[in-house]
Chains A and B, each alone.
Chain A
């Protein structure tokens, strides 16, 4: 029997929209799971995915991709490739593995919600593939670090992290719950697939795969490349959803969804990717700074696409976002390094003389703002006063992004506000705006500092906090290079 060409049957197979007669639209698409934004019924039927795919093609492609990455994994396993990687790069992939694989499973929940509650059959079809994609990403990205467990127990956190109350995990989980695990279908399409995947992860995965090959991590590079090709496809659910909202007079609602999630995504992106690019990636392998990456990839490419659709840049672009490109991840890096026993990887200080020159060149003024602080830390390392390079209290964290509140300059106060008698702290005007734009989503959530003050963390000490976070001595972070970055006086790890 001759096989039909895809174009001959595709529309018939995927356009299964019909008007309901036995049930109401609200019963089929409950607002809390689907959210119409006031756009009903057939208005959604014009939803058209830019990238066409059938199930047969999907299975064929995915099987081939899995064959590729798992065969690379088994080949690399017989080599000493991992052992020869730079310690800072190992930290970058450990941070990634703890923060990403289980949330990929979470994302499959968001995709599955769109596969059921998306308001057009074509969309539900694409979201079904997205659900399978995210399951695959979770499985592959847990299996690869599992294979490295024999070399380093910190890889256990690829699976463990998201089941703990480690502070960075609280920040990541809060973001991902907001974006997809506990979001309605339409908002998920705008916030996960259009904003986060199109804007950040699709581009980031391209950059990470390239960096991995630069440092010689063929295994990680192959894994990330394979995932990126799925992301590039399923992230395209956002644009047709956005077009339908705009065409039905809901541009302001769509803009708000993007503005909220672009900011929340940026904060976590700066924490994970910012410090990995500018401090953990070996100097000789850095192809661009994090700021250059943001400017060239995120700001230009994503925002061009965004404006082509008739949207505006977020209201905070000039006043808050662009200035943060210069400083925020440097502050986060110093915090992660100083509070290093609270993370599941070994932070690489990345402040050798050559690296400091690079930082000052890429970020003029870095020495004056951050180098001076590293001078004091370096002096303590040189004089053997390692105890002075550890914290004795907690930083205050933001009630929106859940990242420690840092300041770009001296004398800048955190934003403190009261909501229903509860004192809240925000790192900036935008985080405060995001929180206040939908307090019902956030008001019962406690930051790690709220929990400490409420007595949830016992004993109320740094040790008690580590125990609360699930950090055990075998995984607690230490300096990645054994303090070798401090030039003349290389100290053994304490």
Chain B
């Protein structure tokens, strides 16, 4: 378990954010960690699940950062499904 900095956007927001996650976090946790910096602050909240995109591909919600192939300071996008 180690701190893992990422660049992240929540879809619809206007700026790229520095979001620290943990390499043991699942994509579902990563999505929540990104959302907490945008959803309800600038992006309207929706009653929908969220997914993580990396290099144009949607990542399964159960895999961890360490398993995903994401590198520190890679860019991910989180969006409502």
Residues of A within 8 A of B (CB): 331, 334-335, 338, 369-370, 372-373, 375-377, 380, 388-389, 391-396, 404-407, 410-411, 413-414, 416, 423, 425, 449, 452-453
Contacts and interface: CB of A to CB of B under 8 A. Distances in A.
Interface stretch (B6-14, B23-31, B59-67): B6-14
A394 B16 CA distance: 9
A414 B41 contact: no
Contact of B15 (A335, A375, A376): A335
A425 B5 CA distance: 14
A393 B15 contact: no
Contact of B18 (A334, A375, A393, A406): A393
A330 B22 CA distance: 33
30 contacts: A334-B42, A335-B14, A335-B15, A338-B42, A369-B14, A372-B12, A372-B44, A373-B42, A376-B41, A377-B42, A380-B40, A388-B40, A388-B41, A389-B41, A392-B37, A393-B19, A394-B17, A395-B15, A395-B16, A395-B18, A396-B7, A396-B18, A404-B16, A406-B16, A407-B9, A407-B16, A416-B7, A416-B73, A425-B7, A425-B16
Contacts of B58: none
Contacts of B18: 393-396, 449, 452
B53 to A, nearest CB: 8
Given A394-B18, A407-B16, A414 B7 contact: yes
Among the interface residues B9, B17, B41, which one has the most CB atoms of the partner chain A within 10 A? B41
B10 to A, nearest CB: 10
B17 A410 contact: no
Contacts of B74: 416
A449 B16 CA distance: 12
Contact of B17 (A389, A395, A416): A395
Contacts of A375: 44
Given A394-B18, A395-B17, A407-B15, 12 more contacts: A331-B15, A334-B14, A334-B42, A372-B12, A373-B13, A376-B41, A389-B41, A396-B16, A396-B17, A404-B16, A414-B75, A416-B7
B44 A404 contact: no
B35 to A, nearest CB: 12
A370 B13 CA distance: 9
A392 B20 CA distance: 11
A376 B14 contact: no
B41 A404 contact: no
Given A410-B12, A414-B7, A376 B37 contact: no
Nearest to A387: B41
A405 B16 CA distance: 6
Nearest to B42: A373
A366 to B, nearest CB: 12
B80 to A, nearest CB: 11
Contact of B75 (A376, A395, A410, A413): A413
Contacts of A335: 14-15
B20 to A, nearest CB: 8
B73 A373 contact: no
A453 B5 CA distance: 8
A405 B11 contact: no
Contacts of A405: 15-16
A178 B29 CA distance: 42
A396 B14 CA distance: 12
A20 B42 CA distance: 65
Contact of A391 (B16, B37, B44): B37
A407 B15 CA distance: 6
B59 to A, nearest CB: 15
A411 B11 contact: yes
A377 B14 contact: no
A406 B11 contact: no
Contacts of A391: 37
Given A396-B7, A414-B75, A453-B5, A406 B15 contact: yes
Among the interface residues A370, A388, A393, A453, which one has the most CB atoms of the partner chain B within 10 A? A393
Contacts of A331: 14-15
Contacts of B12: 372-373, 410
A70 B20 CA distance: 52
A392 B33 CA distance: 11
B68 to A, nearest CB: 17
A50 B40 CA distance: 58
Contacts of A372: 12, 44
B77 A376 contact: no
